[in-house]
A and B are shown apart, each in its own frame.
Chain A
């Protein structure tokens, strides 16, 4: 119960007695040790969260930035956004993107994880190393690379699609502009984000698979279970906890995706906004910053994510991570 880094590999020195015993029980020791961190987190995370809450009921603009006190406006910001079809459009983009990206990430990532488990040792670490490269790429670079891959002149994707027979993919790809409509922009974004997120899922699934006793698979094979059935009646139940954590983390990451979309489509292209880009653009996007409005939108995003987080914490507590 003490070793929380099972994949580290070194003998973790499991305690034989279930109880953690601590010989010394200093009164202030642990509190002094966590105090700096607690202060940092309180100041940089919790206090700003509260500020988002209060600011979403205020008008904070150029005047306030010059030092005037904030103006209380009640629920005006929320009235405005909730009645604005544009807000609902950005919310739709956010949710649809998250659903598609999370589903793709999970399916592709799991398949790659299963493949890595099946491959021989050398081949497995070779492929895993390659997959890691995708994970390691900084989001800014990833977004720029995909803008180039999907570029309308010289882009390798358009070139490839143009090579394919017309009855398969249609014609006219050679100068197709992927960043002209929200749908095609989000297609590129999805490919980019899934490419970066899959490795994490794959490697986690692989780590999970390594912990499943081989005899179980042996037994399934003797019973004549095919790969599909083996997955759903053996692998999936065994790895359920890991899948839960991965799904929740993916949802959270994909819901708040900002950098990639910001670079691919930018603040000028309002049609393709998602919630975080919308909040940012309201707050900083013009010469007339509306920080209160931005906060209100950010609050909506935060609340959605807090609900998902509550789910996540519950899962972690159930799995005994807090002991």
Chain B
């Protein structure tokens, strides 16, 4: 990096460097930039860092009047309590299983639906195409917090309240619109010539789809799947409202319940939070680029 700055012709930056040597001012500027960058990094990561750090601290250190960034006597006691003690009478793994089942069902069904619709939208011109696209956009803006009231009644009538099946149907509805929005870019990016070539070679549409389209949109499918996974994994208000039995609770509900009941037991609360958060952060970092492109697709074009 320094080599590129050194190669630049000198006089130009000096125009506003106010007499200082251009090299020195550049180095100073770089130092300032990197310092600010580091500060931003610390601010962004600190809350999550503090969560993990608290989770490993013994109680005396958690409530110390002079908090230290790292635990001086790290302990696994809080994790042990969360994993084996059974928060609120039910084992952690039961909540984990509920969350995982919900997330998996949501991912599989919503990806399938989204792929079908994305192909339709990206590959065909048809009559209600624009209507459908506008609908997808509008739907993403609907306040889900408002829908919880009518959906509660609907699921009650169908006898699907207090069941993971009912909840997964709702999550599929929430995940699909964004998944289509994201996937259609990937489908559109597959060169049509490839499909045409397959067709000329005598492959039918279904074969073409599985042999040409599917392998090529696979990365996009992974990205959307992880997004749907996070949607279902993080969801709070519907799970909180619809689920009654403790053994059906999902992880976020367990966490909220635990937080509400044991107010200041920050060690175990932070340990449970860590267990809920780490998988999401890992997945998220895997797909963040694609998510951004899906959310603001087109806006960049100006």
Contact = CB atoms under 8 A, between A and B. Distances in A.
A277 B1 CA distance: 51
Given A34-B117, A154-B266, A132 B288 contact: yes
B65 interface: yes
Interface string A312-323: 110011011110
Contacts of A132: 284-285, 288
A34 B288 contact: no
Nearest to A37: B117
A3 B260 CA distance: 47
B189 A3 contact: yes
Contact of B67 (A156, A256, A294): A156
Contacts of A36: 113, 116-117
A41 B173 contact: yes
Given A7-B289, A242-B300, A153 B264 contact: yes
Given A133-B281, A241-B301, A298-B145, 19 more contacts: A2-B189, A5-B220, A5-B294, A12-B188, A34-B121, A133-B45, A138-B276, A138-B280, A140-B276, A141-B51, A145-B270, A146-B47, A148-B50, A154-B67, A154-B266, A246-B296, A276-B146, A308-B141, A312-B137
Given A112-B40, A134-B44, A221-B12, A144 B116 contact: no
A48 interface: yes
30 contacts: A4-B298, A5-B220, A13-B192, A30-B121, A34-B116, A41-B139, A45-B139, A47-B150, A47-B154, A52-B147, A120-B30, A131-B44, A135-B288, A136-B280, A137-B281, A139-B234, A139-B236, A156-B50, A195-B47, A203-B292, A207-B293, A207-B300, A208-B300, A245-B299, A262-B236, A266-B260, A298-B145, A302-B146, A309-B138, A316-B137
Interface string A268-283: 0000000010011001
B98 to A, nearest CB: 15
Given A48-B154, A127-B40, A2 B188 contact: yes
Given A3-B189, A119-B34, A144-B259, A276 B130 contact: no
A222 interface: yes
B19 interface: no
Contacts of B252: 138, 140
A4 B120 CA distance: 15
A178 interface: no
Contacts of A41: 135-136, 139, 173, 176-177
B302 A238 contact: yes
The interface residues of chain B, by DSSP majority, are classed as: helix
A306 B143 CA distance: 9
A141 B273 contact: yes
Chain A, interface SS category? helix
Given A119-B33, A137-B48, A141-B277, A6 B293 contact: yes
Nearest to A211: B300
Interface stretch (B20-28, B87-95, B179-187): B179-187
Contacts of B126: 30-31
Given A41-B173, A138-B233, A259-B237, A65 B145 contact: no
Contacts of A47: 150, 154
B295 interface: yes
Contacts, number: 361
B212 interface: no
Interface in B158-209: 169-170, 172-174, 176-177, 180, 182, 184-186, 188-192, 196, 199, 205
B13 to A, nearest CB: 8
A299 B190 CA distance: 42
B132 A34 contact: yes
Contacts of A123: 34, 37
B52 to A, nearest CB: 10
A86 B34 CA distance: 48
A229 to B, nearest CB: 12
A40 B34 CA distance: 48
A322 B114 contact: no
A45 B67 contact: no
Interface string A26-45: 10011101101110110111
A130 B40 contact: yes
A177 interface: no
A31 B280 CA distance: 35
Interface in A212-234: 221-222, 224, 226
Contacts of A241: 299-302
Given A127-B41, A144-B255, A279 B284 contact: no
A168 B152 CA distance: 50
B33 A115 contact: yes
B120 A29 contact: yes
A137 B47 contact: yes
Nearest to B48: A133
B153 interface: yes
Interface string B203-221: 0010000000000000010
B157 to A, nearest CB: 9
A305 B298 contact: no
**Of A138, A199, A291, which is in contact with the most chain B CB atoms at under 10 Å from its CB?**
A138
Contacts of A154: 62-64, 67, 266
